[in-house]
Structure 1
Amino acid sequence: MAAAPRLPRTTRSPQPDPATHPVDRTLPPLRMFTSGLQHVAAMYAGVVAPPMILGPAVGLTATETAFLVGASLFTAGLATLLQTIGFWKVGARLPFVNGVSFAGVTPMIAIGKAHSPDDALPVIFGAVMVAGVLGFLLAPWFCKLVRFFPPVVTGTVITLIGVSLLPVAFNWSQGGNPAADDYGSPRAIGLAALTFAIVLLLRRVLRGFLQQIAILLGLVAGTLLAIPFGMTDFGALKNAGLIGFPVPFHFGAPQFDTAAIVSMAIVMLVCMTESTADMLALGRIVDRPADERTIEGGLRADALGTALSPVFNGFACSAFAQNIGLVAMTRVRSRYVVATAGGILILLGLCPVAASVIALVPLPVLGGAGIVLFGSVAASGMQTLATAALDTGENALIVAASVGVGLIPIAAPDFYHAFPDDLLVILDSGISTGCIVAIVLNLLFNHLGSRDRSPDPTGTDAPAPEPTVAA
């Protein structure tokens, strides 16, 4: 009896089930890892910048700031897994990257200044936890209130976030410590200017993946240039272990201050507004429109990640818009790729050496790159405002008044010096005051009263388009 003929072997990868939506498909392991790593590279500078700003502002040492960086990486990974994998009614289940929100930086610095160095972080963490819980409870209703947060509001707030952070970059560029003898020296400012030029050059000449990490490459180049001048501190790296864990409540048990909670609750609303806009945009990009249930789940993930982050010494979480641009550019729509990025972030957070490497970056180098990074945040806000129909109704007046009030703490830091300390936590944050003014004026001019409103939804009732923050 003749033997059955052998079937020829095939080396082709199994084809994905056409019935499975691209968002829910997995990729081969190597491509899954490299695509996830690219998402980490695109967001890395944005994740580590807030703790590096806040650490010195509340009096942390380089080693303690490195610990804060590691904690932010770890909690960003957890929040990203909540969004992409999800459970119950938590998570948008889209390729949605979460990380530390820039919106909270200025308010947290204001909170830190209002309290002693020992109490600053516990008060901040307590306020962030409460804000996260409030956001979780509000999610089912907030997703129905998107019409009250149009581009004229979100664009104003995002612009103020970038503008409010630029003075931090200018301070870094001078050395970071006004009491130091070499503060503002030509050497420090020259190093910042050189880093600034390198980042711009890399963004101009590189393409694809390398262009996405231009700021990261600029930080590396600036740090290498600083070594011969003795401007790099290796202390944090020497004391860092290979494996570590962000010990819960490392800086003390959370404290709950009413003014701080109000300030961070406003930040939570800003984060939820940005995330809603990003989910709507991402849904269009991946051909899975974000309905009310998707937005509700995504907001719950944001809020739960925010509430849990302070346990591990992290901060408020929100969407990273630059990663949405990366999804659009690469057309890799799998949420499991972004979940892989979340896993990589967790591993980085569990490796103190990786976090300490970031602490090697001299402040002038960080300042030079920060000018580009924070300027990009402001530019994304302006891009959103460009869709806000400023020639319709009173939208231009809303922007003018909101930006004007929001710039007071920046242009005149002592403007509110005679006010009670509890109020200063809010008043000293241009983001908080500008956001409040924008929301109130938008309600007054575009939603209340009998005056006819423009039929153009872009100016009033439509949710904001996604901000495109540079990587």
Structure 2
Amino acid sequence: MLTSGLQHVAAMYAGVVAPPLIVGAAVGLSGTELTFLTGASLFTAGLATFLQTLGVWKIGARLPFVNGVTFAGVAPMLAIVDTTDDKADALPVIFGAIIVAGLLGFLAAPWFSRLVRFFPPVVTGTVITLIGVSLLPVAFGWAQGPNPAAEDYGSTTFLTLAGITLVVVLLLRRFTRGFVKQIAVLLGLVIGTVIAIPFGVTDFSPVTEADIVGFPTPFHFGGPQFALAAIISMCVVMLVSMTESTADMLALGEIVERPADEKTIAAGLRADTLGSAISPLFNGFMCSAFAQNIGLVAMTRIRSRFVVACGGGFLVLMGLSPVAASLISVVPRPVLGGAGVVLFGSVAASGIQTLVKAGLEKDNNVLIVAVSLAVGIIPITAPEFYHAFPETAKIILDSGISTGCVAAVLLNVVFNHLGRGRDDDDVTAPMEPGEEISGSHTAKAAHVH
């Protein structure tokens, strides 16, 4: 149980620490504060995993389900940071928005579990693809160095370190098997950091300054602030997160031979949303299911939810040890950038894998994907596109994930639901809600495997 639980932690560790690193760097946190934020994310991921695996009352799917910080929230949170005048207020605004979105999601969970038919693979695949594409520029920025204003930003030294790390991860994925293959990204970070030491870009001060034992002080960065635009943006992210979690529960239910019915999905969504609402109390972000670990369950065929709960225990312990959390702060940004290309690119590839099952031979679905991707990519390819809009509106519009998700849902309703009887030849045949999402995310889990 201990070794299998550790394996689940290893498979998702890089994914848990990446969002706080991205957001913390954007806010301008020091190494010590960044370590604190990373530890808080580990701690809250453990709590959310406990809720999902062990369950309380009608909360928790009671499946071998790992929860952690969702990538879907990163781009909207960066948009909130960019539109906040005082960067010191950015995290409190983000935390306030997540609390409201989590509580609303908790109340909506029973009804949302009945709306799966509005989120077929053509929608979920588009959104997942946008998540990966939206995060890739972050990896490219990391690869160029820690400080965009520095003279050596984008130097051959930094880019070489990023390239070496990328090659190491690819070689490990290609020529290793089993546990080593699963933790290729983590090993790539370690090897890249060691290689970076002679170049003088590795800073060990966060480890030496960190305490062995510590507790994520509630509201360490200030009490939550509630801004309407930020709340709307994070509510859209919550919608995306609940969609992904629903799909993952359906896929995991098939893998462990315990099909997830409407009651299980509702309980699982309650755990996701309640975990997200509690997370900001301890300085954590929105939580959702980790698809990497679904692939791990399928590969190892260890189906016990108590094994995953053991992994959640390790996450809590790591969150209570600032020294353990600080280790990731030692990794130079270029090394993170090289690994980030694989990590974020894999998210986009998972979305493409889902789109393969979306019936793109139908013209309607091609249009849905085309327009939704175009709308979602606007903030990446044309960052000043919405410059004339009010700052509050830009928090939502500058998140390609949020706008792309809304566009995909609305277009799917228009093309595949309204007036379906008048144009049956061009519309994908309706499927059972469980069938369409389960199939797509079984493919997603297989891709991660």
Using the size of structure 1 for normalisation, the TM-score is: 0.92
Residue of structure 2 in register with 1:268 after alignment = 238
- The aligned runs of 1:158-237 (5 Å cut-off) are 158-237=128-207
Report the counterpart of residue 58 of structure 2 in structure 1: 89
Show the counterpart of 1:246. Answer: 216
Match of 2:383?
413
Residues 229-262 of structure 1: per-residue CA shift (max 9 Å, x gap): 1101112112100000000000000000000000
- 1:456 corresponds to 2:429: yes
Q: How far 1:393 sits from its partner (Å)?
A: 4.5
Please tell me the residue identity of whatever aligns with 1:204: R
Query: Do the aligned partners of residues 455 and 166 (structure 1) sit closer, same or farther apart at CA in structure 2, a change above 3 Å counting?
Result: closer
Residues 131-182 of structure 1 show CA distances to partners (whole Å, capped at 9, x for unaligned) of: 0001100000000000000100000000000000000000000003210111
Q: Distance in 2 between matches of 1:458 and 1:205?
A: 40
Shift, 1:459, TM fit = 11
Aligned to 1:399: 369
C-alpha contact (below 8 Å) 2:362/2:428 kept by paired residues: no
Shift of 1:55: 0.7
1:68 counterpart = 2:41? no
Offset at 1:101? 0.1
Residues 372-430 of structure 1 deviation map (CA, whole Å, 9 limit, x = unaligned): 10000000000000000011240000000000011100001111111100000011110
Please give the alpha-carbon distance, in whole angstroms, between the structure 2 residues aligned to 1:131 and 1:184: 38
2: CA distance, partners of 1:459 / 1:170: 40
Secondary structure, in 3 states, of the residue corresponding to 1:245?
coil
In structure 2, which of residues 329, 340, 357 is the aligned counterpart of residue 359 of structure 1?
Answer: 329
Once the two structures are TM-superposed, the CA of residue 451 in structure 1 deviates from its matched residue by: 2.5
CA distance in structure 2 between the aligned counterparts of 1:66 and 1:455, rounded to whole angstroms: 48
Matches within 5 A, 1:434-445: 434-445=404-415
Q: CA distance change for structure 1 residues 105 and 455 in 2, over 3 Å: closer, same or farther?
A: closer
The structure with the largest alpha-carbon Rg is: 1
Conserved? CA contact 1:259–1:426, under 8 Å: yes
Contact 2:123 2:412 in 1 (8 A): yes
Mapped contact 1:387–1:458 kept (Cα < 8 A): no
How many angstroms does 1:456 deviate by? 2.9
| Equivalent residues in 2 for 1:13-24, closer than 5 Å | none
Deviations 1:8-66, CA, capped at 9 Å, x for gaps = xxxxxxxxxxxxxxxxxxxxxxxx11111110010101001111111111111111111
Offset, 1:74: 0.2
Q: What runs of 5+ residues in structure 2 fail to find an aligned partner?
A: none
Distance in 2, Cα, partners of 1:427 & 1:155: 20
The match for 2:74 is 105
In structure 1, how many angstroms separate the alpha carbons of the residues matched to 2:305 and 2:46?
Answer: 14
Whole-angstrom distance in 1 between the partners of 2:437 and 2:220: 39
**Stretch of structure 1 that moved more, 319-328 or 446-455:** 446-455
Q: Paired residue for 2:357, among 368, 387, 391?
A: 387
Deviation at 1:212, TM superposition (A): 0.4
Q: Secondary structure of the equivalent of 1:318?
A: strand
2:399 to 406, 429, 444: 429
The residue matched to 1:253 in structure 2 has which SS?
coil
* Residue pair 2:359, 2:428 contacting (<8 A) in 1 also: no
Secondary structure of 2:42's match? helix
Q: Is the 8 A contact 1:237 1:353 kept in 2?
A: yes
Q: TM-score, normalised by structure 2?
A: 0.96
Mapping of residues 257-406 of structure 1, within 5 Å:
257-406=227-376
CA displacement at 1:227 relative to structure 2:
0.7
CA pair 284-459 structure 1, distance change in 2 beyond 3 A: closer
**Using the alignment, how far apart are the partners of 1:459 and 1:60 within structure 2?**
47
Any idea what the Cα deviations from partners look like across 1:275-315, whole Å, max 9, x if unmatched? 00000011000011101100000000000000000000000
Report the AA paired with residue 265 of structure 1.
C
SS in 2 for 1:462: helix
Q: How many Å separate the matches in 2 of 1:235 and 1:61? A: 11
Distance in 1 (CA, whole Å) between partners of 2:51 and 2:388 is: 44
Identify the residue that residue 17 of structure 1 maps to in structure 2.
none
Q: Is the Cα contact below 8 Å between 1:83 and 1:92 reproduced in 2?
A: yes
Paired letter, 2:429: D
Helix, strand or coil for the counterpart of 2:140?
helix
Q: Is the 8 A contact 1:402 1:435 kept in 2?
A: yes
Aligned to 1:27: none
Look up the equivalent residue of 1:462 and give its one-letter code: E
Unaligned runs of 5+ in 1: 1-31
Matched, 1:146 2:99: no
Is residue 47 of structure 2 the alignment partner of residue 78 of structure 1?
A: yes
Change (3 A) 1:363 1:458: farther
More helix by share: 2
Residue identity in the other structure for 1:284: E
CA distance in 1, matches of 2:432, 2:417: 12
Aligned equivalents of 2:172, 2:403: Cα separation in 1:
36
C-alpha distance in structure 1 between counterparts of 2:115 and 2:272, whole Å: 17
Cα contact 1:283–1:289 (8 A) shared by 2: yes
Q: What is the distance in 2 between the residues matched to 1:98 and 1:334?
A: 15
Q: Measure the CA separation in 2 of the matches of 1:138 and 1:105.
A: 23
Residue 43 (structure 1) aligns with:
12
Aligned to 2:100: 130
For residue 350 of structure 1, what is the amino acid of its counterpart? L
Which stretch has the larger CA shift, 435-444 or 172-181? 172-181
CA displacement, residues 193-213 of structure 1 (integer Å, 9 cap, x when unaligned): 110111100110110011000
Q: Using the TM superposition, give the Cα deviation of residue 125 of structure 1 relative to its aligned residue in structure 2, in angstroms.
A: 0.2
- Give 1:333 shift: 0.6
